[in-house]
Structure 1
């Protein structure tokens, strides 16, 4: 969940879910894959309903079989409240559980629980690694604009050893050879900066001004590309969205694509020589050789009846789309090729939001 309004929407949906009696609420334990583990496939993170503590993980193996609720199946307990993201380090998977204020550490192949990280974790969002340390963005108390930070984790002990204060609403975090870039989506507010952190000194070394509500970031050559959604109309202070190109040597914006008023893109991915971004239920392509606003989408998901495009990832030449439906029904994972041709869909669990390749 990306801001306060979405929290309210999903919370309301969660109340509906708590009052429903459909089979969507049942936990059906799948048998593990024939190999006995969860290698060679894609994890689907299912956010679950806000305050419902029904987050889960699905696994799509390379043969196309789907295994739902694998954390529960292996460990005999629920994952928690709002699964936000997942990150891999060596043979471990770190599952960031936002509203439970925890990070569940499991073996990425067996999914057996190793430990739960709770200390110095408060409203965690995303995670990356440098050397033997992990770096986790935290909103802190979302109502407090001054307590946000990046937690530094010792991956040997899985203990937070330091916190680095940053601006409000740290979201995505990327590592470029020991330089960490943090987009400030804004938490319950609206951010407009990128923090640059040095992994050696574990301090903020620079701040880059960008358009409002920066989220996804990707790296191509020596440039950082940042997707900024802009403030939406419902804020009463609508602003323009854009994709900005930042030279990572100078930390200066060198080029940009500006969207029209009222146009607010959602997610950003990279495919070799192009950027792909989402706008509502459509996907657009921008070639690096022609960094201009496309006139037409690459493809639309409307014909597959996607309700809410809630996750977007390119994995091994395929585009994965998460459909959150109506936030109260179980979702779907849809797969397209890079030309936008639909290939297959998979039934997963409540509010899928991300895909993680375990090949």
Structure 2
């Protein structure tokens, strides 16, 4: 693919791993100045392959020895650029020499995985000719194409559909696994892949254990022994430890839509109902009747559940996660909360603000507490070749930017595509546009959504 970035509007990550700064200065003779390390970017944590800049403040004419974990070289430069691929805590130290006197100082910095913070776009790939893939956008707007392949040298399964992050593991489900849509064998890692969420290094892959599934489409995780998978027949509980797959009784009508997880419960759309699944149970806990077709189930920031329904009128409702009672419901008379042909929710939420587009290019914003809905932008008017929306929009849980995947057309024109982000606090400005990175995008996933 041609790789070009139109603009960078991604925020700089503020959610950094905690680590302690350890500055110390060795005693020097009276009248001799010491040395101080200045962390230029004021970050004590950094992703693999990213750069931190340190500056030594010392008397004029000093020469410097910089070390990382006790290893380094002598230089006259007071600036040191730290880059590492090794995870964990590292000690940066500098010794300044001047007039036959020496002084030292040190600081700690933690390196976390390249993929710990950022945005994933999961790609189905062409169902007859290629495997799925994973595109990653860092908080600084740097794109890594085919991230899973680059981390492992192997491919995701055919028609990758959904992913979920739990306890520093990423679970990726594909529809066809090692066979394509017409039954031909494909060389890939299969149906369900489990990888380290920071590095994407594969930890496990499951195929034969899931052979009874019929076109699996979604995955959600309660814990390592309760991986919930949706297929054409309903919901299953998979235990990777015992490698057992158990159908959840009563779940046969579970819809091809993303499941929400809140307070150790799964909430899944199912026609006019929302199914509730709890860990270690092989039957549904509850089936909430919404009296209309459910188009989206999304976790709210307070742990309750947003549910969108289509009808006359369409509605956005808030459901209590404890007793499944209705907290409040708002009519939607402008725009559409339909999920469209895709497999992602018809709504997306940050706090009290929800967005929807009906799987089209016209984006609407609904402020739930006020019951107000307003048209924001038609992406087609501000993004070149944004003709077809492939799966629904998603709002970043921290920045509030709305992400949209579009393609120019089907046929070979699916290779002309955009990942566009909109900052609606700035008059619907396109804050970033990443061209020609997707391959039938199955969904947009923010790592911050799983913290």
Tell me which interval the TM-score lies in, with the shorter structure as reference length: 0.7 to 0.9
RMSD: 2.9
Show the counterpart of 2:433: 345
* Number of aligned residue pairs: 306
SS at match of 1:194: strand
SS at match of 2:258: strand
Tell me if the contact between 1:134 and 1:152 (Cα under 8 Å) persists in the aligned partners: yes
1:291 aligns with 2:371: yes
Show the counterpart of 1:49: 126
Cα shift at 1:215: 2.8
Q: 279, 284, 293: which one pairs with 1:212?
A: 293
Cα shift at 1:264: 5.2
| 1:19-98 map, 5 Å | 36=85, 37-98=114-175
Rounded Cα–Cα distance in structure 2 between residues aligned with 1:337 and 1:106 = 32
Rounded Cα–Cα distance in structure 1 between residues aligned with 2:336 and 2:137 = 33
SS at match of 1:73: helix
Which stretch of the first structure deviates more once superposed, 322-331 or 33-42? 33-42
1:274 aligns with 2:362: no
Show the counterpart of 1:169: 254
Rounded Cα–Cα distance in structure 2 between residues aligned with 1:216 and 1:278 = 15
SS at match of 2:300: strand
Relative to structure 1, is the Cα distance of residues 256 and 99 closer, same or farther in structure 2, using a 3 angstrom cutoff? farther
Rounded Cα–Cα distance in structure 2 between residues aligned with 1:200 and 1:54 = 33
Cα shift at 1:172: 2.5
Relative to structure 1, is the Cα distance of residues 61 and 179 closer, same or farther in structure 2, using a 3 angstrom cutoff? closer
Show the counterpart of 1:136: 228
Tell me if the contact between 2:152 and 2:202 (Cα under 8 Å) persists in the aligned partners: yes
Tell me if the contact between 2:226 and 2:279 (Cα under 8 Å) persists in the aligned partners: no
Task: Give the TM-score, by structure 2 length.
Answer: 0.60
Tell me if the contact between 1:82 and 1:98 (Cα under 8 Å) persists in the aligned partners: yes
Cα shift at 1:49: 2.2
Show the counterpart of 2:279: 199
Rounded Cα–Cα distance in structure 2 between residues aligned with 1:65 and 1:43 = 12
Q: Which has the higher helix share?
A: 1
Which stretch of the first structure deviates more once superposed, 96-105 or 239-248? 239-248
Cα shift at 1:355: 2.4
Task: Give the TM-score, by structure 1 length.
Answer: 0.74
Relative to structure 1, is the Cα distance of residues 38 and 219 closer, same or farther in structure 2, using a 3 angstrom cutoff? closer
Rounded Cα–Cα distance in structure 1 between residues aligned with 2:195 and 2:267 = 26
| Bigger-Rg structure (1/2) | 2
Cα shift at 1:68: 1.0
Show the counterpart of 1:182: 268
Structure 1 regions of 5+ residues with no counterpart?
1-22, 25-31, 141-146, 185-190, 231-238
Structure 2 regions of 5+ residues with no counterpart?
3-47, 51-83, 86-113, 178-189, 340-345
Query: Which string of whole-angstrom CA distances, capped at 9 and with x for unpartnered residues, describes residues 120-162 of structure 1?
Result: 344222222224334323224xxxxxx32222334xx383453
Cα shift at 1:103: 1.1
Cα shift at 1:338: 4.1
Show the counterpart of 2:42: none
